[in-house]
């Protein structure tokens, strides 16, 4: 036991020293390849584009602006930025304009159909972007898999249908990582999406296209899903809001790939948006009937909440250390909360977080559903990852390296059976600890990611940094990622606001307060 501990400390020391030498060299090499100047321009229709979905819907309803004009402004913006960022992979502009015109006609008619009340259609006429992995009737639904190239959705996913019922109009679908299982959005079908703050950097994944087009001003709200951080990482790298909803609150159906077996418990669907005010209405719509049970409308008094702050994972061997600028931003949040609401933010340390990755992957592999290699073959037989790796070396595989790598890891999973049992046990105890700590009015501040947006392909060198988001999938807790302005390099900073299960409205209330204090989304074209 003692020997083991000494050995681990020794390895940690060596890795830390190597990191000090290796990371700056790596950054330098990548910067030579990818340091190109960003060419983001400021949008023309600022009056329309720089408003929340809630406010747009109000203005359309009160006839201050036509739904068609709103749709046209967003379409023009997508056309302007997409050649730079490659976020939208398919569009339905013509149909969307017709649907917008239909709304204008209904609103201009003498007597308004009660079906069109503000209550029933809170997002009336708001352009909606959707992650391509979700089914939108008539749109491609491939998850970036070449073999699914011509696969189109025949019916809407439930969340898409709910948002349409609420008046939103889907007009684009956006890029993802191959099979939504990597934190850079790139695949062999649609290519790679670039960060609007620095086009040499990643947008994160898997809902990377969503966060990117929203940050670029090409859309205002969108739909993401998150099994290890796929909403929160892109929202972080692109400086927007993203909410991972409580386990089971929002229907996950209608996306490909859909997690199966117990993996489904880790997956959660939720909104990505530019303005915090849209989080709660979007979440309520997406939750469908569940929204009635979840008490999301309860008033929140921030002074009555208990706050905790954890600044890092306690030193996992395989995860990068926290960027000092992120740590400083988190401490500013602590100071803001303490000074504004006269609360005490307790700095805590949960040693089990060091094993976040082990707990998440034990939860993932205890699933008995469809294997990743089967998904790579579109559930028709399975792909041989060893062969694909060989083909990849000669640049003739239809798969990305991270997907092939995950296929290989899956093959070796049996080696971990013993340690998985132990990790599941640790997870159970951590869950209890957090439940006791958060109670039903606790808020935890935790970094979203240890590093600022890395260069393209650089995540291959830090494959496990998603541990910071993944732990909350294993725990099933709701989390809001909140942007906190830009770093000195001009890249988004951010933080995770975690709360107890089914208390999503608490983390969202904190997000709104932080938007007021820290400025929220920053226009990359400014």
For residues 218-277, which are near ligand NAG according to CB under 6 A? none
Tell me which of 131, 164, 201, 503 is the catalytic residue: 131
Nearer to ligand NAG, 132 or 504 (CB): 132
Looking at the Cβ atoms of 98 and 149, the one nearer to ligand NAG is 149
Angle (deg, nearest 10), helices 417-438 and 356-365: 110
Q: How far apart are CA 154 and CA 135, in angstroms?
A: 8
| N-term to C-term CA, the chain | 56
Please say if 206 is a catalytic residue. yes
Q: Determine the size of the site formed for ligand NAG (CB under 6 A).
A: 11
The answer to whether 112 and 76 have CB atoms below 8 angstroms apart is: no
Q: Is 185 in the active site?
A: no
Name the residue nearer to ligand NAG (CB basis): 91 or 515.
91
On the 0-12 / 13-18 / 19+ scale of CB atoms within 10 A, 4 is: exposed
- Site residues for ligand NAG, 80-119, by CB under 6 A, read 86, 89-90
**Residue 88 Cβ vs ligand NAG, minimum distance, rounded to whole Å:** 8
The residue (of 332 and 391) whose beta carbon lies closer to ligand NAG is: 391
d(CA 497, CA 225): 17
User: Residue 439 in 3-state DSSP?
Assistant: coil
To ligand NAG, the closest distance from the beta carbon of 96 in angstroms equals: 17
496 closest CA partner among 308, 355, 286? 308
Confirm if 417 and 479 have CB atoms less than 8 A apart: no
131 catalytic per annotation? yes
Out of 134, 182, 190, 472, the only residue in the binding site for ligand NAG (CB under 6 A) is 190
Q: With binding defined as CB under 6 A, does residue 191 bind ligand NAG?
A: yes
H or E stretch at 425:
helix 417-438
Cβ contact 106:242 at 8 Å: no
Nearer to ligand NAG, 214 or 286 (CB): 214
- Segment near ligand NAG (CB under 6 A); pick from 6-14, 113-121, 141-149, 328-336: 141-149
- Whether 75 and 153 have beta carbons less than 8 Å apart is answered as no
Angstrom distance (rounded) from CA 175 to CA 343: 41
Position closest to ligand NAG via CB: 191
376-415 binders of ligand NAG (CB under 6 A): 391, 396, 398
Closest approach, Cβ 190 to ligand NAG, in A, equals 4
Q: Taking a C-beta distance cutoff of 8 angstroms, is the pair 484, 493 a contact?
A: yes
Q: Are 365 and 416 in contact (CB under 8 A)?
A: yes
Q: In whole angstroms, how close is the CB of 167 to ligand NAG at the nearest point? A: 27
Please give the structure tokens belonging to residue 32. 């030579």
Stretch that binds ligand NAG, among 64-72, 146-154, 231-239, 328-336 (CB under 6 A): 146-154
CB of 189 to ligand NAG, least distance (A): 7
Minimum CB distance to ligand NAG smaller for 22 or for 390: 390
Whichever of 191 and 490 has its CB closer to ligand NAG, that residue is 191
Containing 492, the helix (H) or strand (E) segment is strand 492-499
**Distance (Å, whole) CA 138 – CA 153:** 5
Round to whole Å and give the CA distance between 520 and 322: 21
Candidate list 50, 106, 147, 331; residue touching ligand NAG; CB under 6 A: 147
Whether residue 181 contacts residue 372, with contact meaning beta carbons closer than 8 Å, is answered with: yes
Distance of closest approach, residue 186 Cβ to ligand NAG, in angstroms: 9
Residue 354: burial class (beta carbons within 10 Å; 0-12, 13-18, 19+):
middle
Find the shortest distance in angstroms from Cβ 89 to ligand NAG.
4
Q: Of 194, 206, 225, 320, which residue is the catalytic one? A: 206
Q: Which of 230, 356, 361, 365 is catalytic?
A: 230
Q: What are phi and psi for residue 221, nearest 5 degrees?
A: -135, 155
Residue closer to ligand NAG by CB (options 229, 257) is 257
Q: How far is the CB of 195 from ligand NAG (least distance, A)?
A: 15
Q: What positions carry a catalytic annotation?
A: 131, 206, 230
**Residues binding ligand NAG (CB under 6 A):** 86, 89-90, 146-147, 149, 190-191, 391, 396, 398
């Amino acid at each position: 036991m003692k020997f083991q501990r000494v050995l681990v400390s020794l390895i940690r020391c060596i890795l830390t020293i190597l990191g000090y030498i290796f990371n700056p060299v790596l950054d330098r090499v990548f910067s030579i390849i990818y340091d190109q100047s960003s060419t983001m321009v400021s949008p023309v229709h600022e009056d329309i584009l720089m408003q929340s979905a809630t406010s747009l819907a109000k203005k359309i309803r009160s006839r201050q602006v036509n739904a068609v004009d709103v749709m046209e402004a967003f379409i023009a913006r997508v056309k302007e930025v997409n050649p730079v960022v490659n976020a939208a992979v398919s569009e339905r502009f013509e149909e969307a304009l017709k649907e917008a015109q239909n709304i204008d006609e209904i609103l201009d008619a003498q007597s308004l159909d009660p079906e069109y009340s503000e209550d029933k259609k809170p997002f009336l006429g708001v352009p909606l972007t959707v992650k391509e992995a979700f089914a939108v009737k008539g749109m491609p639904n491939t998850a970036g898999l070449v073999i699914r190239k011509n696969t189109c959705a025949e019916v809407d996913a439930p969340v898409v249908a709910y948002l349409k019922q609420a008046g939103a109009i889907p007009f684009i679908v956006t890029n993802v990582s191959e099979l939504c299982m990597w934190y850079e959005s790139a695949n062999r079908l649609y290519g790679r999406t670039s960060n609007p703050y620095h086009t040499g950097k990643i947008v994160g994944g898997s809902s990377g296209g969503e966060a990117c087009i929203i940050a670029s001003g090409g859309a205002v709200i969108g739909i993401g899903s998150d099994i290890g951080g796929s909403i929160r990482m892109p929202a972080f790298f692109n400086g927007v809001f993203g909410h991972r909803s409580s386990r089971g609150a929002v229907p996950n159906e209608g996306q490909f790939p859909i997690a199966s077996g117990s993996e489904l418990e880790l997956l959660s669907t939720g909104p990505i948006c530019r303005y915090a005010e849209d989080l709660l209405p979007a979440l309520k719509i997406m939750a469908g009937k569940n929204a009635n049970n979840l008490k999301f409308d309860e008033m929140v008094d921030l002074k009555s909440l208990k706050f905790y702050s954890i600044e890092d994972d306690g030193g996992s061997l395989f995860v990068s250390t926290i960027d000092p600028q992120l740590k400083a931003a988190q401490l500013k949040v602590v100071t803001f909360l303490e000074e504004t609401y006269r609360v005490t933010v307790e700095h805590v340390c949960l040693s089990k977080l060091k094993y976040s990755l082990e707990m998440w992957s034990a939860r993932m592999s205890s699933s008995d559903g469809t294997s990743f290699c089967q998904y790579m073959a579109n559930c028709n037989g399975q792909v041989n990852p060893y062969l694909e790796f060989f083909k990849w070396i000669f640049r003739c595989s239809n798969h990305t390296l991270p997907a092939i790598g995950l296929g290989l890891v899956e093959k070796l999973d049996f080696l971990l059976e013993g340690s998985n049992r132990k990790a599941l046990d640790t997870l159970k105890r951590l869950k209890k600890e957090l439940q006791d700590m958060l109670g039903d009015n606790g808020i935890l501040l935790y970094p979203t990611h240890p590093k600022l947006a890395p260069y393209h392909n650089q995540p291959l060198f830090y494959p496990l940094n998603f541990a910071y988001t993944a732990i909350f999938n294993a725990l099933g807790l709701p989390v809001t990622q909140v942007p906190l302005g830009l770093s000195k390099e001009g890249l988004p900073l951010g933080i995770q606001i975690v709360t107890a299960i089914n208390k999503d409205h608490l983390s969202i209330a904190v997000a709104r307060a932080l938007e007021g204090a820290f400025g929220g989304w920053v226009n990359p074209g400014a």
